[in-house]
């Protein structure tokens, strides 16, 4: 430790990019006296500081843990590639930001896993910390490594690297786990005994206590607990009442500009829509809203404690928040007084949202965003995207009349049951919007310039716990062909000069599919990629497709099996032991309806009996109401 | 709008925060402190705020300055100072707040020179010249007519005469276990040099190669020039109330 209480020497800090990533000392970061606490919990987001610091989930849990007098929660993020190299060369262990002490000294290392492409960074964190990569090699000298976040709904590819997974929302069960930990330490039990007892806590999955048997074709024959008393199913944890739980009072304020350089206000959890490709839409059911009063109280407190100059609303579909007009009315008045900007999440474009955008943003600088996800009405019905061409065209017409000239459209290519005709619909739709502009705005009134439309496509990745979890993913070549069809479709339009087309690359999409629906065998692939030097796979500059293909080959595994294969209705999935409330039967029925192009109504219009009502919360019939 | 000048320090771990981020830090600190700061107009109003010469990453300071526009006609400078200190991290302390006369130049435009105290980091000092050697080198510099230094930046490289940018240079008397070099040098926005240039030049006289990152530099204060060319601390302008 150097004279300023920093873990890294002045020499190192002066030789790396953005030393601010590693020095802690931020406003509102929590310092406790190690003498006063019993448990040190290190919270990790396995990506670079600016990304990790922008994550609301960690902020919530950081505040929650530090509200416990016996616990000190600290943070750690992935060292950037420059420091990573220095740490390996000089054998410097990974350290936390608050105490500037080695991670390995902590009691818990909690890793939030938000996207599949960060898996190699998890190994980087463990390795640099000096913690054995495999759970089975760890002792009481190592922290308990616990994973949480959306990717843990199929934890199997990374199962061997974790001692525990927390399935569901973190607010509910951590106190129980910490109490158990303190008790086991007092009793002097073994680490194995602690993990066994932890497996009895609802929502906690201890992978070492389960075994998998495979069929000859590689699919799963059986998955079962190996010890009496270990539950065979793990049900996700849900916060029933979002008004009566933790929310950050004093979020840590970074010095460097982060992705989210503002107060983030989560207005609700879950989504009523049920798009068939969307994993979050199923995982976070049931839809639960926060009350306007509580939100306003929270946001003003956070503005006072941070000094942020901007707030942003967060949810999966803010337009579906019941009290949005009331909330925005009050926020706009107060924020104008405080000189605070409001950035709007992607709202459904209609008269209301355009009016709000007009109030809080500069029309010349902002764009209007649509996410139809599919180019034709037929395919939008297949994916159950409840957005019609009429909705889009009337929204864009209103925006054009309101003076907007920049439009963004997001689509996905490679949906199940997609035809080339559906893809050509993308160009048609963009062209119709451009045509509206030339029709509605006479030449002399085009003071903001002509319309500019950006069309972006990404490639569809089938995810667990969606209606499309059975679906085959397109091969890379097929993806490229589809992007070409889309581009030709756009190029053939009358107004093609006003339309710009970008597409996401196909390499990472197929690896994402491998990791999303992989089983325990895939763990070895991840380990091999890491051993070959793979970190920061979510960053295109550092991603190497060859590394992944080589590792797959060496393990005797294939993308044909994990990505491109359609699963049978009977197949046992690696994630079947997790109960998210939404039943497999409901999802299968949704898949069949997709095949027939039939839509399912949203949760507010009608309950479709998905199974999430078992939590007795939020929008579900029979749910607890205050 | 009333203009006030805030003098602050920057020490410890916070010295790795770059200048732009210090500005962003103060934008938030001013809000947390509840200072009635003035804003520009437009869709994204920003605080009326100017900083004197930026401090390099890794340097510490006892004399940084920030000018602020505030809405109060007769501000209570002590209250502002206390509020800012309360809202600030311990590594940044507000030393004074003064109300500027209307005709005062802003901190950035009026800064002319900075004074520094430079020593060697403890873990490097054995590889660096001792106080006696430094004294000798400083004496040699004082006897020189010019000090041609090859300055390289990302875009350009040229020879400059350091001599005309140095206003004083001496070894601190109370020699402790390592030498402490004091200097006041030009840091105006048009003609500035860095303290490291002088040390580098000095050591170059005897082909002494300093290990990298061996200089521990603290800025002591910043100055503007008075009517008769005399140096006036930026902190001596204006009044406290």
Q: Is the peptide bond before A219 cis (omega within 30 degrees of 0)?
A: no
pLDDT computed for residue A8 by the predictor: 97
As a whole number of angstroms, the distance between CA A357 and CA A349 comes to 10
* Contacts with A551 (C-beta within 8 Å, 6 or more apart), sequence order: A525, A526, A528, A529, A532
Q: How confident is the model at residue A556 (pLDDT cuts 50, 70, 90)?
A: very high
Q: Taking the C-alpha atoms of A283, A55, A59 and A61 in order, what is their torsion angle to the nearest 10 degrees?
A: 30
The C-alpha atoms of residue A378 and residue A382 are separated, in whole angstroms, by 6
Residue B24: its pLDDT value, please?
96
CATH topology of domain B2-109: Alpha-Beta Plaits (3.30.70)
Q: Which residue has the tokens 């495999």?
A: A134
Write the pLDDT tens digit of every residue in B18-42: 999 999 999 999 999 999 999 998 7
Contact list in A for residue B21 (CB cut-off 8 A) is 20, 255-257
Query: Residue A231 — pLDDT band, cuts 50, 70, 90?
Result: very high
pLDDT band at A448 (very low <50, low <70, confident <90, very high): confident
Instruction: Tally the residues of chain A.
Output: 626
pLDDT tier for residue B76 given thresholds of 50, 70 and 90 = very high
Contact B98, B237 (CB under 8 A): yes
- pLDDT greater than 90 at residue B63: yes
Rounded-to-integer distance, Cα A606 and Cα A272, Å: 10
Judge: B43–A24 Cβ closer than 8 Å, yes or no: no
Yes or no, beta carbons of B28 and A362 under 8 Å apart: no
Protein fold of A263-521+557-613: pyruvate-formate lyase- activating enzyme (3.80.30)
CATH number of the A10-235 domain: 3.40.50.280
- Backbone φ, ψ for residue A168 (5° rounding): 120, -160
Output the pLDDT for position B194: 93
Cβ–Cβ gap A4/B12 under 8 Å: yes
Q: Do A309 and B27 touch (CB under 8 A)?
A: yes
Instruction: List pLDDT tens digits, range A238-294.
Output: 999 999 999 998 999 999 999 989 999 999 999 999 999 999 999 999 999 999 999
Domain-by-domain residue ranges, chain B?
A: 2-109, 113-232
CB contact under 8 A, A306 and B27: no
What pLDDT band is residue A362 in, cutting at 50, 70 and 90? confident
Cβ-Cβ contacts under 8 Å, B43 against chain A? 361-362, 365
Q: Which of B24, B91, B123 sits opposite A25 (nearest CB)?
A: B91
A97 contacts in B (CB within 8 Å)? Answer: none
Q: Is A5 within 8 Å of B21 when comparing Cβ atoms?
A: no
**Taking 80 as the threshold, does the pLDDT of residue A626 lie above it?**
no
Asked whether the beta carbons of residue A253 and residue B91 sit closer than 8 angstroms, the reply is: no
Q: What is the pLDDT of residues A123-142, one digit of tens each?
A: 999 999 999 999 999 999 99
- Joined together, the tokens standing for residue A134 give 């495999």
Nearest CA in chain B to A358: B43
DSSP state of A173: T
User: Are residues B39 and A339, on separate chains, in Cβ contact within 8 Å?
Assistant: yes
- Range with top average pLDDT, A410-414, B169-173, B236-240: A410-414
Residues composing chain B: 241
Contact A341 B31 (CB under 8 A): no
Residue B154 has pLDDT above 90, yes or no: no
pLDDT at B174: 67
* A256 vs B contacts (CB less than 8 Å): 21
Q: Please report, rounded to a whole number, the percentage of residues in chain B having pLDDT higher than 70.
A: 98
Q: Looking at beta carbons, which residues of chain B come within 8 Å of A6?
A: 13
Percent of chain A, pLDDT > 90?
Answer: 91
Residue B151 has pLDDT above 90, yes or no: no
- Say if the Cβ atoms of B13 and A361 lie within 8 Å: no
Statement: residue A623 has pLDDT above 90: no
pLDDT band at B227 (very low <50, low <70, confident <90, very high): confident
Q: For A564-591, how does the pLDDT look when each residue is reduced to its tens digit (9 = 90+)?
A: 999 999 999 999 999 999 999 999 999 9
Please give the residue that has the higher pLDDT: either B131 or A364. B131
The residue of chain B nearest to residue A309, with distances taken between CA atoms, is: B28
A409 φ/ψ angles, rounded to the nearest 5 degrees? -125, 130
Residue B36 tokens read as 């009635």
- Residue-level pLDDT at A23: 97
The pLDDT score that the predictor gives to residue A185 is 97
Picking from A25, A256, A307, the nearest residue to B21 by CB comes out as: A256
Q: What integer pLDDT is reported at residue B20 of this predicted model?
A: 96
Does residue B176 register a pLDDT over 80? no
Interchain pair A11, B212: CB under 8 A: yes
Closest CA to A213 of A204, A201, A205, A222: A222
CA distances from A79 to A26, A86, A110, A112 (A): 17, 10, 16, 16
pLDDT attached to residue A625? 60
Position B209 confidence tier, pLDDT thresholds 50, 70, 90 = very high
Mutation target vs B (from A3, A6, A10, A16; most B CBs, 10 A cutoff): A10
Least confident of A207-221, A350-364, A437-451, B194-208: A350-364
Which residues of chain B are within 8 Å of residue A11 when distances are taken between CB atoms? 212-213
Buried b (16+ CB within 10 A) or exposed e, B219-234: bebbbbeeeeeebeeb
Identify whether the C-beta of residue A413 lies closer than 8 Å to the C-beta of residue A459.
yes
Please give the average per-residue pLDDT across B87-94, as a whole number. 97
- Contact list, A5 vs chain B (CB under 8 Å): 12-13
CB distance A14–B213 less than 8 Å? yes
pLDDT of residue A507: 93
Query: What is the pLDDT confidence band of residue B157, given thresholds at 50, 70 and 90?
Result: confident
* Chain position carrying tokens 């964190």: A125
The domain spans of chain A are: 10-235, 263-521+557-613
Interface test with B, best of A8, A252, A339 (most B CBs within 10 A): A339
């Amino acid at each position: 430790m150097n004279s300023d209480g920093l873990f890294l020497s002045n020499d190192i800090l002066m030789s790396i990019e953005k030393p601010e990533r590693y020095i802690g000392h931020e406003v509102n970061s929590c310092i406790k006296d190690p003498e006063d606490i019993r448990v040190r919990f290190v919270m990790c987001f396995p990506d670079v500081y600016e990304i990790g610091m922008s994550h609301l989930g960690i902020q919530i849990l950081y505040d929650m843990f530090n509200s416990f007098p016996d616990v000190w929660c600290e943070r750690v993020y992935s060292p950037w590639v420059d420091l990573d190299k220095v740490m390996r060369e000089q054998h410097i262990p990974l350290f936390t930001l608050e105490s500037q002490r080695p991670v390995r000294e902590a009691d818990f290392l909690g890793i939030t896993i938000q996207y599949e492409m960060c898996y190699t960074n998890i190994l980087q964190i463990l390795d640099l910390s000096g913690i054995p990569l495999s759970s089975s090699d760890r002792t009481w000298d190592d922290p308990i490594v616990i994973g949480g976040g959306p990717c843990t709904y199929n934890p199997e590819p990374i199962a061997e690297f974790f001692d525990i997974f927390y399935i569901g929302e973190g607010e509910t069960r951590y106190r129980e786990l910490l109490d158990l930990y303190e008790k086991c330490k007092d009793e002097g039990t073994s680490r194995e005994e602690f993990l066994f007892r932890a497996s009895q806590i609802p929502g906690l999955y201890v992978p070492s206590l389960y075994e998998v048997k495979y069929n000859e074709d590689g699919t799963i024959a059986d998955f079962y607990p190996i010890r009496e008393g270990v539950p065979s199913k793990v049900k996700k944890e849900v916060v029933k009442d979002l008004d009566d739980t933790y929310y950050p009072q004093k979020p840590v304020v970074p010095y460097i500009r982060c992705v989210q350089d503002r107060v983030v206000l989560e207005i609700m959890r879950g989504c009523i829509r049920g798009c068939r490709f969307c994993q979050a839409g199923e995982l976070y059911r049931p839809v639960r809203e926060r009350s306007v009063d509580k939100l306003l109280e929270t946001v003003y407190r956070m503005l006072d404690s941070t000094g942020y100059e901007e707030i942003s609303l967060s949810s999966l579909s803010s337009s579906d928040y019941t009290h949005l007009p009331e909330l925005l009315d009050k926020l706009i008045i107060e924020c104008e007084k405080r000189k605070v900007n409001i950035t709007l999440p992607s709202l459904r474009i209609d008269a209301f949202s355009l009016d709000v955008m007009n109030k809080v943003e500069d029309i010349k600088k902002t764009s209007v965003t649509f996410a139809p996800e599919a180019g034709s009405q037929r395919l939008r019905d297949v994916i159950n995207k409840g957005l019609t061409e009429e909705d889009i065209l009337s929204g864009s017409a209103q925006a054009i009349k309101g003076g907007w000239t920049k439009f963004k459209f997001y689509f996905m290519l490679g949906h199940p049951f997609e035809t080339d005709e559906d893809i050509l619909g993308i160009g048609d739709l963009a062209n119709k919007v451009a045509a509206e502009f030339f029709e509605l705005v006479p030449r002399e009134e085009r003071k903001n310039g002509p319309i500019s439309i950006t069309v972006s496509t990404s490639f569809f990745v089938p995810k667990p716990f969606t209606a499309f979890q059975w679906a085959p993913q397109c091969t890379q070549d097929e993806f490229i062909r589809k992007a070409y069809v889309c581009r030709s479709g756009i190029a053939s339009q009358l107004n093609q000069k006003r339309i710009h087309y970008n597409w996401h690359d196909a390499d990472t999409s197929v690896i994402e599919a491998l990791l999303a629906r992989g089983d325990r065998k895939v763990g070895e692939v991840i380990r091999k990629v890491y051993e070959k030097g793979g970190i920061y796979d979510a960053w295109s500059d550092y991603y190497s497709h060859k590394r992944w293909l080589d590792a797959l080959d060496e393990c005797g595994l294939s993308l044909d099996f994990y990505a491109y294969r359609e699963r049978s209705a009977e197949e046992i999935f690696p994630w079947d032991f997790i109960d998210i409330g939404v039943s497999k039967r409901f999802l299968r029925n949704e898949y069949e309806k997709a095949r027939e192009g039939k839509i399912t109504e949203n949760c507010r219009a009608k309950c479709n009996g998905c199974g999430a009502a078992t939590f007795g919360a939020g929008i579900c019939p029979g749910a607890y109401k205050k | 709008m009333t203009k006030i000048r805030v003098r602050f320090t920057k020490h410890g771990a916070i010295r790795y925060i770059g200048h732009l981020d210090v500005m962003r830090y103060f934008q938030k600190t001013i809000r947390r402190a509840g200072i009635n700061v003035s804003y520009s107009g437009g869709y994204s109003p920003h605080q009326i705020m100017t900083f004197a010469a930026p401090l390099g990453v890794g340097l510490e300071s006892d004399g940084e300055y920030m000018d602020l526009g505030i809405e109060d006609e007769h501000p209570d400078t002590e209250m502002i100072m206390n509020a800012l200190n309360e809202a600030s991290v311990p590594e940044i302390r507000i030393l004074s707040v003064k109300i500027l006369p209307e005709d005062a130049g802003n901190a950035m435009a009026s800064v002319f020179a900075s004074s520094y105290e430079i020593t060697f980091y403890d873990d490097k000092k054995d590889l660096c010249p001792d106080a006696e050697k430094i004294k000798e080198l400083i004496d040699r510099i004082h006897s020189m007519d010019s000090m041609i230094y090859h300055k390289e930046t990302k875009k350009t490289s040229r020879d400059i005469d350091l001599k005309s940018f140095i206003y004083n240079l001496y070894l601190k008397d109370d020699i402790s276990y390592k030498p402490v070099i004091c200097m006041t040098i030009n840091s105006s926005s048009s003609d500035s040099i860095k303290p490291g240039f002088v040390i580098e030049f000095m050591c170059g006289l005897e082909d002494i190669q300093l290990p990298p990152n061996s200089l521990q530099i603290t800025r002591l204060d910043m100055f503007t020039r008075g009517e008769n060319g005399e140096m006036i601390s930026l902190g001596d302008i204006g009044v406290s109330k």
